[in-house]
Amino acid sequence: MTINQETYQHLLTKLVQEQMIILGPSIGLDIARQIKNLRVDENGNVLKILSDPQQILNDINKLYIEISPHTTRNTLLTLLTKYPDIQKPVL
């Protein structure tokens, strides 16, 4: 099954917004904005994915895990239950 860009946008938005709650708004958002091909607004909404969405998910997951490994893993695993067709990044 092909996963569309919108599905990734929803998942990434939820992930960024959860991390903004857990890590604080500025840290959670700053980390997301480090991803070169990802555009995120000040509320954590993913506006645009400019490259491979699975790679973006892997990249943002890696950065969040560096800051808060256990919380990031738990958050992402919980979110992925709502998106079973998306490949789980390395946790």
- Domain assignment present for residue 16? The answer is yes
Domain of 41 in residue numbering reads as 1-52
Q: Cα–Cα distances in Å, from 16 out to 4, 31, 38? A: 19, 9, 11
Q: Is residue 17 part of a domain?
A: yes
Q: Please name which of 35, 31, 41, 21 lies closest in space to residue 66, comparing C-alpha atoms.
A: 31
What's the structural domain count of the chain?
1
pLDDT (0 to 100) of residue 1:
40
Residue 32 resides in a domain: yes
How would you write the pLDDT of the chain (91 residues) with one tens digit per residue?
A: 457 899 999 999 999 999 999 999 999 999 999 999 999 999 999 999 999 999 999 999 999 999 999 999 999 999 999 998 898 887 7
Is residue 81 situated within a structural domain? no
pTM of the model: 0.92
